[in-house]
């Protein structure tokens, strides 16, 4: 009996040590540089499996809501343009979903759940935005960021692909806002972006165009896509959610 109890205790101790090591390893994986991610994207499956399952572009309620947003087109605006789809979904989410900090930390909610409860943190916003963009035929990704002075992930945002340059999007955004009767709250409009070719080894898709940051929480104004002035705003990981 004593030998049996000793074996059980030994087995439990080994399991506990294994869990601790695994936890430490997973935690440290988040503290990576942008260059490290580019060089080692094939090792990012853990992030992909953990987050992408919450992105739901084919969910009936999510897709129906996204389509209703982009189909509510004012006169003088091309409802089929990608600029309108990007701008209108960003604007709707910023006006109808409230920011509430997640008390549980990295607790993800699926897109439909965020749509139902009408609030969430940066993870929830990003998952819902990516789901909506994908549901209307755009290509989206999730980006993990460092927004303070340490090298660890503390924020998530959405990326959406724009096939042209930033200036062309800003011109279309300006035209949309004019038709909507919205005055820009800032004199010089900027949009945070990544040259899509830079992300080629991660997304494996593009050699031109840009990935626009869709970050309702960090953006300076709901009417401006990706107008983010906060520093630091460092990319640590990009996860493609494209179907």
Verify that 12 and 46 share a domain, yes or no: no
Interior angle at CA 51, CA 110 and CA 202, nearest 5: 140
In angstroms, what CA-CA distances link 64 with 9, 59, 60, 61, 201? 55, 8, 6, 5, 33
Please give the tally of structural domains in the chain: 2
- H helix or E strand, kind and range, residue 35: helix 34-39
Average pLDDT over residues 29-52: 47
Verify that 4 and 72 share a domain, yes or no: no
d(C-alpha 49, C-alpha 9), whole Å: 34
Answer whether residue 208 shows pLDDT above 50.
Answer: yes
Verify that 216 and 180 share a domain, yes or no: yes
Q: pLDDT of 189-207, one tens digit each? A: 889 998 887 754 456 678 8
Label residues 129-152 b or e (16+ Cβ within 10 Å = b): bbbbbbbbebbbbbbbbbbeeeee
Q: Cβ distance 93 to 128 under 8 Å?
A: yes
Q: pLDDT of 116-132, one tens digit each? A: 999 999 999 999 999 99
CATH number of the domain where residue 211 is located: 3.10.620
Verify that 41 and 19 share a domain, yes or no: no
Verify that 74 and 16 share a domain, yes or no: no
Verify that 50 and 23 share a domain, yes or no: no
Verify that 25 and 105 share a domain, yes or no: no
Average pLDDT over residues 4-9: 36
pLDDT tier at 9, thresholds 50, 70, 90: very low
Answer whether residue 36 shows pLDDT above 60.
Answer: no
Verify that 94 and 37 share a domain, yes or no: yes
User: Which of 53, 41, 110 is closest to 241 using CA atoms?
Assistant: 53
Verify that 21 and 53 share a domain, yes or no: no
pLDDT at 49: 60
Q: pLDDT of 54-98, one tens digit each? A: 999 999 999 999 999 999 999 999 999 999 999 999 999 999 999
Whole domain around residue 142: which residue ranges?
Answer: 32-240
Average pLDDT for the chain = 81
* Threshold 0.85, pTM exceeds: no
Percent of the residues in the chain that have a pLDDT greater than 70, as a whole number: 75
pLDDT at 177: 96
Answer whether residue 38 shows pLDDT above 80.
Answer: no
Strand 210-214 vs strand 155-162: parallel, antiparallel, or unpaired? antiparallel
Label residues 62-88 b or e (16+ Cβ within 10 Å = b): bbebbeebbeebeeebeeeebbbbbbb
């Amino acid at each position: 009996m004593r030998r049996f109890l000793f074996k059980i205790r030994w087995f439990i101790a080994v399991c506990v040590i294994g869990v601790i090591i695994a936890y430490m390893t997973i935690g440290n994986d988040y503290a990576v540089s942008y260059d490290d991610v580019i060089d080692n994207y094939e090792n990012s499956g853990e992030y992909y499996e953990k987050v992408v399952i919450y992105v739901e572009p084919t969910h009936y309620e999510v897709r129906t809501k996204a389509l209703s947003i982009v189909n509510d087109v004012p006169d003088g605006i091309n409802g089929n343009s990608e600029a309108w789809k990007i701008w209108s979904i960003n604007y709707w989410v910023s006006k109808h979903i409230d920011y509430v900090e997640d008390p549980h930390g990295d607790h993800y909610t699926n897109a439909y759940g965020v749509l139902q409860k009408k609030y969430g943190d940066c993870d929830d916003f990003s998952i819902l935005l990516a789901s909506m963009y994908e549901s209307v035929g755009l290509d989206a990704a999730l980006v993990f960021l460092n927004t303070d002075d340490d090298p660890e992930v503390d924020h998530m945002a959405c990326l959406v692909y724009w096939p042209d340059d930033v200036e062309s999007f800003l011109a279309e955004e300006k035209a949309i806002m004019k038709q909507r009767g919205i005055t820009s709250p800032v004199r010089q409009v900027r949009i945070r972006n990544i040259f899509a070719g830079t992300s080629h080894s991660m997304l494996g898709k593009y050699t031109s165009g840009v990935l626009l940051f869709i970050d309702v929480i960090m953006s300076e104004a709901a009417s401006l896509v990706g107008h983010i002035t906060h520093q630091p705003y460092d990319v640590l990981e990009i996860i493609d959610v494209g179907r």
